[in-house]
Amino acid sequence: MDLNVELNEKEHKYFARIDGAEAVAAYEEDGDTLTFTHTHVPEALRGRKIGEELVRQAVADARRRGRDVAASCPFVVRYLERHPEATA
């Protein structure tokens, strides 16, 4: 999927705009750790794997920037369980 995921550090979120709607992966910062706290994909966009791609790109970007990744959001927790290589 070709999803343009952007980072808004001021609002502590990764996001993508699709068809006029915004999908979001919000996080909190604690030192070098980003803890993903909430993921939201508007109902009109669900079923297209947008949430999974958003989280994949967000985690990859955090890791590229030298950040540790954690999750309290159940969606992100499940993603990390299915993709342990994402936090390696």
- pLDDT band at 1, cuts 50/70/90? low
Domain 6-87 -> CATH class: alpha beta
Span 38-87, pLDDT tens digits? 999 999 999 999 999 999 999 999 999 999 999 999 999 999 999 988 87
Span 5-16, pLDDT tens digits? 999 999 999 999
Domain ranges for the chain, please list them.
6-87
Q: Residue 54: which residues within 8 A CB-CB, separation 6 or more?
A: 3, 5, 14, 15, 16, 23, 24, 25, 39, 41
Q: Pick from 65, 62, 43, 49: which is nearest to 2 by CA?
A: 49
- pLDDT band at 22, cuts 50/70/90? very high
